Chain A
């Protein structure tokens, strides 16, 4: 395995990258932290931490309203993130990018604003069997309210969506297809371009949950032709509580506001208000200003490292980790799709994920155990939970060696 280690390490200076992430330098229960839970939240580089600190120390003011210097500085720092997001996603304009709390709020905004106006009784919405709860529950709520029907694209035993079945679900009543770009529980990279195209051919719109995709691959919303694309800042090394919803301008313009309040209006009388233009129409109230500024720093950081280099390095890590885990007797990978992002989800016969997680934690290794907010995925594979190691570009082959050694220790204890 040393050969694999060195071949990975030579192409990407991961040790230098790790210097940028202060959290990674600590010990947990006396052992160096091995952080393998980046799909839950990614760690933050100094540049993001410094941006948050600088805002609070130097530029702190409310945005879009003051004429004073601090307000202008904070407005500029916040709004420049929208410009960075436009480049990051290759969005056609800044007005197409709405700041939200995260992926969950982005999807809820579409389900609530677009959905309430557009969905009629008997209409159909399609999601997939591998969605995170955040891309299931808002559509269930909408369907219940509007007496519409929710349908599901099934997946096979590897964790690939079955597109032939999807084709059969599409019909003139289909109004929306909402799927994840990358599955958080399985790592599957879905063929979203094709899924969107099929939706459009049936006359439906398409929303893509990009939470697990944006940290790992180049996303081009225009090439995908997605009508909506949502993601969270904290998964791409930015702060929590901030995210972006991309929407096609003509759709966003036709949608009613999501929430009412300050900043989303042009004029207000006691009887009636007129609404602000995009994107502000959807941004009521004082937003997470610091979070937005931190997200801008995160875009810069990831762009500097380079998404192409990140994707190539993470793929090598994934291949290395998959091979290591396959050598552990009794371990079964959950999610073996043809195209995968850096998620290693698995079960070990008769050993509960919570016991695995606790033992690994005592060895300094942070993994996620449970249903990963994707209970239907667990039901599909007839398991209550999995253990999930999710990787980022700051992880090393040596850390995967430690994971494998930890799992052998787990087996000794419980098998």
Chain B
């Protein structure tokens, strides 16, 4: 009865999150916070020539938010800043609209069940909102002096 929300891949990534580590040589670092549920997340990105070469995160959260961060960081590697921002829009559309599920989301389609749980949309989007502020906000840039 929970297969629609807690698909196997989500459970797997929540129990064994990928890229769940601090990144010493990240050039972007930003904190995300969901004050409603207390979830906290720190996102690290390494960009070389406008392309994401590494992505990781630390934090504590529910199964949905942990799996979302895990699958997002997997998915980001190799994408340009523009591609990452476009993917964010597509992902948000998956969660909040009734539009047909797009194939170019790859593994991220496992989150399609979230649209039936409006109270959980913010769990699935915390990592992505954090990504957005990392890519669009100058404060996220790690200074190296």
Check if A and B associate: yes
A residues within 8 A CB of B62? 352-355
Interface pick from B33-41, B76-84, B102-110, B130-138 = B33-41
B residues within 8 A CB of A385? 37-38
Q: A358-B120, A370-B37 are in contact. Are A413 and B64 (CB under 8 A)?
A: no
Question: For residue A357, which residue of chain B has the nearest CB?
Answer: B119
Question: For residue A384, which residue of chain B has the nearest CB?
Answer: B38
A residues within 8 A CB of B5? 358
A25 shortest CB reach to chain B, Å: 22
A359 within 8 A of B: yes
Q: Which of B2, B36, B39, B60 has the most CB of A within 10 A?
A: B2
For window 2-17 of B, CB contacts with A under 8 Å fall at 2, 5-6, 11, 14-15
Question: For residue B60, which residue of chain A has the nearest CB?
Answer: A384
In whole angstroms, what is the CA distance A371 to B117 when docked? Answer: 20
B residues within 8 A CB of A413? 2, 6, 11
For window 119-135 of B, CB contacts with A under 8 Å fall at 119-120, 123
Q: Is the CB of B64 within 8 A of A355?
A: yes
A247 shortest CB reach to chain B, Å: 33
A378 within 8 A of B: yes
Contact of A378 among B14, B38, B117 (CB under 8 A): B38
Q: Is the CB of A414 within 8 A of B14?
A: yes
In whole angstroms, what is the CA distance A22 to B38 when docked? Answer: 34
A363 shortest CB reach to chain B, Å: 8
A373 shortest CB reach to chain B, Å: 11
Interface residues in A, total, Cβ within 8 A: 18
A380 within 8 A of B: no
A residues within 8 A CB of B32? none
Q: Is the CB of A352 within 8 A of B1?
A: no
Q: A352-B62, A355-B64, A414-B14 are in contact. Are A384 and B37 (CB under 8 A)?
A: yes
Question: For residue A352, which residue of chain B has the nearest CB?
Answer: B62
B85 within 8 A of A: no
Q: Which of A352, A369, A370 has the most CB of B within 10 A?
A: A352
For window 159-185 of A, CB contacts with B under 8 Å fall at none
Question: For residue B63, which residue of chain A has the nearest CB?
Answer: A355
In whole angstroms, what is the CA distance A369 to B37 when docked? Answer: 8
Question: For residue B39, which residue of chain A has the nearest CB?
Answer: A384
In whole angstroms, what is the CA distance A375 to B15 when docked? Answer: 27
Q: Is the CB of B2 within 8 A of A352?
A: no
Q: Is the CB of A362 within 8 A of B2?
A: yes
Q: Is the CB of B63 within 8 A of A414?
A: yes
Q: Is the CB of A354 within 8 A of B123?
A: yes
Q: Is the CB of A354 within 8 A of B14?
A: no
B residues within 8 A CB of A384? 37-40, 60
Q: Is the CB of A354 within 8 A of B11?
A: no
In whole angstroms, what is the CA distance A354 to B38 when docked? Answer: 11
B12 shortest CB reach to chain A, Å: 11
Contact of A359 among B2, B15, B60, B123 (CB under 8 A): B2
A260 shortest CB reach to chain B, Å: 34
**Contact pattern, A 379-401, Cβ under 8 Å of B = 1, otherwise 0:** 00000110000000000000000
In whole angstroms, what is the CA distance A371 to B37 when docked? Answer: 7
In whole angstroms, what is the CA distance A370 to B34 when docked? Answer: 11
Enumerate chain B interface residues (CB-CB to A < 8 A).
1-2, 5-6, 11, 14-15, 36-40, 60-64, 117, 119-120, 123
Q: Can you name 10 A-B pairs with beta carbons within 8 Å?
A: A29-B1, A352-B60, A352-B63, A353-B62, A354-B62, A370-B38, A378-B38, A384-B39, A385-B38, A413-B2
Enumerate chain A interface residues (CB-CB to B < 8 A).
29, 351-355, 358-359, 362, 369-371, 375, 378, 384-385, 413-414
Rank and list the top 9 A-B pairs by shortest CB-CB distance, nearest first.
A384-B38, A352-B62, A354-B62, A355-B63, A355-B62, A385-B38, A354-B37, A370-B37, A362-B1
Q: Besides the contacts A413-B2, A414-B63, what 9 more A-B pairs have beta carbons closer than 8 Å?
A: A354-B64, A358-B5, A358-B117, A359-B2, A362-B1, A370-B38, A378-B38, A384-B37, A384-B60
